[in-house]
A and B are shown apart, each in its own frame.
Chain A
């Protein structure tokens, strides 16, 4: 599904190298967790995979379903089935949530050769998916993420994921800013989408999210490289001992 080889990436402006030879293989149906100290490059990895401006890949390659991911535009990556749930979903005043959701769903359907959904069909679908995530339908009338609480923003991310039906989703610190109830709802939303063909990359600083979304593999990212890989037990060990052994100075 996703094959990352020797990935080196730096921030364009100050040419500071963030990823320094990262390797990762994710097969269909697998859930991988990436943990690591602040500044290790976790969010950079998500941004580089999604195609955000401001990063330069200097070495290495990323293949998604056999295709060179890095040569695709941001929206083409989404159409191909990649989804990034943002750590900080962006507020867009004036763009109505429902209109946004319908536009992204239909643009993605067009790109995948599926017929567009009309207003009524889409409204029905969006309401049903929103109800599963315990999202107040009034939220659909508001501007994208504007004035949403932390929990509402994260639930809205999962709603978008449910509508776009990606094959590979990156959850970037989806647990940050969530109380325990919201964490449960969001996790249930993610778990409902797990199947044999869909893969996830869960980026998190804390183990608690992994109590709800059980990973198959856990990796430690430190100073731009994966320095250790293991099963779910590795997350528990990190929770106990912290990242102190993986800090840059070590």
Chain B
């Protein structure tokens, strides 16, 4: 590890020592109390890289390297999008080992998805760390997967730079087992006329927290943040998003949907921030929760913080149960109750998934996860 990275790690360690795990009094963690992690024993730190990284070797237009091997300009990007005032960001950075760098050359379109596949078991902790750079006019799809049945901690950080006129689609699926703690970060900066689409499927882990921070730094940049929470048992999942319109003529669109069964707990906190001179921006946000049982919980907290005066911003949030009259209608047509509920849940989540037709990641990895969730929820408790 170079001195730049070692210094960053030391700095983060110091920051975390003073921050500690946040409790509910910390506003950003109002619905996800991490103070109990003080006593947690996650075991030894293990492999912090995706397996199969070698599959990325030899893709034309992609340079796969590590931050230690990269030049000073690339090294300086590590940690630059991540606020160390956040305890999770500090903790993960304090434990980072090497940083894997995926660097896509200018004006290159990479057809095959860049897959970062993580699968772990046992009692241990892992801190995968990536830096993804798309140079001017580049195009790529990034796939992140977290699976396995670890009893420990997964705390990945992905920092993404999308240069002028470049386009990145990013699909992130969390399906770790019911004993895993997952504390993740995604931080992205978009330059002029760049676009970024982040789609998250949060289906696994006992306790999950995913922070997403997107900075629209150049005029004409656009971001879509789409997310699903499919929760059951005693799972708790918190998606915490922050979109910063730091330049004029930037646009954002955000849709998060939660389906919550049993005694699970879904949290969505989304803030749209418009800087003082960011005129002519548009930001729209919608969060919806669907409760499948009397003990299920949804906490949605939309926030707007606007310092410019010529903007269009909207946010909406709803939480409710399945529509009883629609359920009766379907059953009166001979559709059994469990199947009718499943149809309605599929309709509810469709808005997040409908633009993804033809995305192979959705077909091969997401559909089986979604189907498994639906059949588990509707077969174990048909009358819930």
**Chain A residues at the B interface, C-beta cutoff of 8 Å:** 50-53, 73-75, 77-79, 84, 86, 89-95, 99-100, 103-104, 107-108, 111, 143, 160, 164
Render B276-294 as a binary contact track against A, CB cut-off 8 A, 1 for contact.
Answer: 0000000000000000000
B323: chain A residues at CB < 8 Å are 90, 92
Q: What A residues does B343 contact at CB under 8 A?
A: 95, 99-100, 103
**Of the residues B330, B334, B339, contact of A108 by C-beta under 8 Å:** B334
**In the complex, which of the residues A78, A84, A92, A111 contacts B347, with contact meaning CB atoms closer than 8 Å?**
A92
Determine if B348 and A74 form an interchain contact, defined as CB atoms under 8 angstroms apart. Answer: no
Complex Cα distance, B339 from A164, in Å, reads 18
Across the interface, do A78 and B348 meet the contact criterion of CB distance under 8 Å?
no
| B binding-site residues for A, Cβ under 8 Å | 323-326, 328-337, 339-340, 343-344, 346-348, 350-351
User: A78 contacts B329, CB within 8 Å?
Assistant: no
Closest-CB distance, B149 to chain A (whole angstroms): 33
User: B334–A75 contact, CB under 8 A?
Assistant: yes
CA distance A111 to B333 in the complex (A): 12
Contact between chains at B347 and A104 (CB < 8 Å): no
Q: B330 contacts which chain A residues (CB < 8 A)?
A: 92, 100, 104
Do the beta carbons of B326 and A104 come within 8 Å of each other? no
Which of B329, B334, B337 is within 8 Å of A92, CB to CB?
A: B329
CA–CA, A86 and B336, complex, Å: 18
With contacts A51-B331, A75-B334, A78-B334 known, what are 5 further pairs, Cβ within 8 A?
A: A90-B326, A92-B329, A93-B347, A99-B343, A143-B347
**A50 engages B334 (CB within 8 Å):** no
A94 (CB) vs chain B CBs: closest residue: B347
Establish whether residues B337 and A94, one from each chain, have CB atoms under 8 Å apart when the complex forms: no
Which of B326, B331, B347 has the largest number of chain A CB atoms within 10 A? B331
Q: Distance (Å) between the CB of B375 and the closest chain A CB?
A: 16
Give the Cβ gap from B331 to chain A, nearest Cβ, in Å.
4
Contact of A78 with B326 at beta-carbon distance under 8 Å, contacts A94-B347, A107-B336 already known: no
A98 to chain B, nearest CB (A): 13
Q: Contacting B332 at CB < 8 Å: which of A50, A94, A99?
A: A50
Given that A75-B334, A75-B336 are contacting pairs, would A90 and B344 also be in contact in the complex, using a CB cutoff of 8 Å?
A: no
Chain B residues with CB under 8 Å of A108's CB are 333-334
Chain B residues whose C-beta falls within 8 Å of the C-beta of A95 in the assembled complex: 343-344, 346-347
Chain A residues near B348 (CB, 8 Å)?
94
Which residue among B334, B344, B347, B350 has the maximum number of chain A CB atoms within 10 Å of its CB? B334
Q: Please give the distance in Å from B32's CB to the nearest CB on chain A.
A: 29
28 contacts between A and B (CB under 8 A): A51-B332, A52-B332, A53-B324, A53-B328, A74-B332, A74-B337, A75-B332, A75-B334, A78-B332, A78-B333, A86-B332, A90-B326, A92-B329, A92-B344, A92-B347, A94-B346, A94-B350, A95-B346, A95-B347, A100-B333, A100-B343, A104-B330, A104-B333, A107-B334, A108-B333, A143-B347, A160-B333, A164-B334
A86 engages B329 (CB within 8 Å): yes
Q: Which residues of B contact A73 (CB under 8 A)?
A: 331, 337
Give A51 to B348 CA distance when docked, in angstroms: 25
Q: Which residues of A contact B333 (CB under 8 A)?
A: 78, 100, 104, 108, 160, 164
Decide: A79 and B334 in contact? CB cutoff 8 A.
yes
Whose C-beta in chain B lies nearest to the C-beta of A112? B334
- Closest 8 CB pairs between A and B? A94-B347, A78-B334, A104-B333, A74-B331, A108-B334, A90-B329, A95-B347, A75-B331
Cβ-defined contact, B335 with A92, below 8 A: no
Q: Give Cα A90 to B339, complex, Å.
A: 17
Chain A, residue nearest B347 (CB): A94
Contact of A90 among B325, B347, B351 (CB under 8 A): B325
Contacts of A86 in B (CB 8 A): 329, 332
Once the chains are docked, how many angstroms separate the CA of A95 from the CA of B340? 10
B329 nearest CB neighbor, chain A only? A90
Cα distance A91–B347 when bound, in Å? 12
Docked Cα-Cα span, A164 to B330, in Å, equals: 13
Task: Let me know if A103 and B347 touch, CB within 8 A.
Answer: no
